[in-house]
Amino acid sequence: GPSAHLVAQTAAQRALELANEALQALPDSGAARRDLRYITALQLRFGPGAEPGGGYLEAEAAYAVAMEDIASDDPQDVDALVLAAESALNTVPWDYYTDRHGSIKPVAAHAAGLLDRALLRSPKHPLALHLMVHLKEQLPAGRGRGKAGEAELAADKL
């Protein structure tokens, strides 16, 4: 989210520069092309003009589209599924439901679906579990389906 984004901004910009240099030295391969797609997506997220208070949400939305494309092109890439979910959630930070009764917003429902797919393939994926906790903790208090207690399942696995 925005707070993590602010801390990461300078380091991410330098890391992107170094990653681009490294990729130029790699042979043209499927792995290099995959890495380049991730780097290109990160450039959208952390590049110039993507600072909080500036174009943060626009940058996050562009990154979300790029990560969705990567995840769609390689549905076996669990990390891409999880990063696509995270980026989708970051476009509506901490605002995943339309009301206090747990009516989920479409973007959050999509992210939940991506997380479910990722957790089917990798049941202990730490970021997927972490995001699931945040997604479910905003549900109404209580246990059972549609209640905040759903977050406990993911939290226990962490």
pTM for the model stands at: 0.83
Cβ–Cβ < 8 Å for 108, 102: no
Cβ–Cβ < 8 Å for 97, 105: yes
Question: Tens digits of per-residue pLDDT, 10-40?
Answer: 677 777 777 777 767 766 666 777 888 888 8
Question: Tens digits of per-residue pLDDT, 89-145?
Answer: 999 988 999 987 778 999 999 999 999 999 999 999 999 999 999 999 888 788 888
Residue 120 backbone dihedrals phi, psi, to 5 degrees: -65, -40
How would you label 36-69 residue by residue, b for 16+ Cβ within 10 Å and e otherwise?
bbbeebbbbbbbeebeeeeebeebbbbbbebbbe
